[in-house]
Amino acid sequence: MKMIESPRQYVYPAVFTPARDESGLWRVRFPDLAKGGQVNAYTLEEAMLCAYGILKAHVLHLEQNKYPAPAPTPCGNVSIEDGDIVQLVVASPDNGDSGKDRNQGGSAASRVKTFLVVVLFICLLAAASLSSSSSKPVIYLYPETVTEVSVRLDYNGALSHTWPPYEDGWKVTARPDGTLVNHADGREYSYLFWEGETEVPFDFSSGFVVKGSETGEFLREKLAFMGLTPREYNEFIVYWLPLMEGNAYNLISFQGAAYTDNAVLTVEPQPDSVLRVYMTFKALSSPTTVPPQELKPFERKGFTLVEWGGGEVKN
């Protein structure tokens, strides 16, 4: 299978798996997209539309970073289970505004643009959101001895801010107390900072509904339980509390693979233990009911990497 006629369009098989647990969510995966290739939705129709959005975001990421596109797997070679549906999905990193489309009277561009608007609207109404910022993830490095460390971020989205400047990755000298010396400028930093925009869907099938006025204590309790130190969770709270305590309620969910699979860190030497805490929240005018999220404690061993960040998902 090859790219279809336009070099700006991509065709990949998607596997749609019906709900097999109490969440009632359809699962979508792209076998050829190792990072950023999964999305959940309430219905098959929503899943098919969301699949287009996630593929579009992925191929846009590939082109922006000049990464090679993986070869599509023929549908007949895709591994599936009973009940799964395999469907080809077509997406373009632009909105079909090529000269060829315009020469055809603009109909192709209009169809693609209209379809994209529908995709984003419907997916926004589903459990997943296709438009959310990744606000202020920061990365702490705690080696056992002074260590030269390189950190690379493969982000399924567009980076908007980094500090120190990311360039072709970060290369630092890390000390056991977390102090970092950036090789590019020789300056000292407390952590590595990045921020970006993504269309990756996030999972709110479980979480916590918290009064705005009680958000600070909630965060302190949960972040400490998950393994952040007082220094780390206080820096988290100082950043996020002003954005959350004024809401009547907040629906809060700590993301797992939906975040880590789309913001992949490659660290050399490889840490012995890694904690990545990424909080997403929605502002609510009244409380709602969601299944409580199960959180797990974290044990630091050897060279430890800790990251925290978050994003507001707006309805």
The pLDDT of residue 124: 37
Angle between helices 107-125 and 44-64 (to 10 degrees): 120
Q: Kindly state whether residues 275 and 205 are assigned to the same domain.
A: yes
Q: Does 5 fall in a domain?
A: no
76 shares its domain with 225:
no
Query: Is residue 2 one of the residues assigned to a domain?
Result: no
**197 and 134 in contact (C-beta within 8 Å)?**
yes
> What are the tokens at 62?
């590939």
Residue 25 makes CB contacts below 8 A (sequence gap 6+) with 19, 40, 41, 42, 127, 205
Is residue 146 domain-shared with residue 107, that is, in the same domain? Answer: no
Where is the domain boundary, 83, 99, 125? 125
Final residue before a domain boundary, out of 125, 142, 176: 125
Structure tokens at 279: 């909080």
CATH code: domain of residue 21: 3.30.160.250
* 177 burial via Cβ count (<10 Å: 0-12, 13-18, 19+): exposed
Among the listed residues 271, 265, 275, 281, the one whose alpha carbon sits nearest the alpha carbon of residue 296: 275
| 235 in the same domain as 99 | no
> Domain residues for 32?
10-125
Q: Has residue 4 been placed in a domain? A: no
State how beta strands 180-182 and 170-174 pair.
Answer: antiparallel
162 with 68, same domain: the answer is no
Cβ pair 15, 31 in contact under 8 A:
yes
Q: Are 108 and 190 part of one and the same domain?
A: no
Per-residue pLDDT tens over the stretch 227-238: 999 999 999 999
User: What number is the average pLDDT over the span 159-186?
Assistant: 95
Structural domain total, the chain: 2
> Nearest Cα to 60, choosing from 131, 158, 152?
158
Residues 246-292: tens digit of each pLDDT: 999 999 999 999 899 999 999 999 999 999 999 999 999 999 999 99
**Which of the listed residues 78, 97, 125 is the one where a domain comes to its end?**
125
Same domain, 109 and 171: no
pLDDT at 284: 94
- Assess if residue 200 is contained within a domain: yes
Q: Do residues 159 and 269 share a domain? A: yes
Residue 196 inside a domain? The answer is yes
Q: Cα torsion for 163, 166, 172, 174, to the nearest 10°?
A: 50
Task: Verify that 109 and 164 share a domain, yes or no.
Answer: no
User: Is 266 found in the same domain as 208?
Assistant: yes
Cα(first)–Cα(last) distance of the chain, in Å?
A: 38
Give the tens place of pLDDT for each residue, 108-141. 333 333 333 333 333 333 333 334 555 679 999 9
Residues 204 and 290 in one domain: yes
- For residue 215, tell me if it sits in a domain: yes
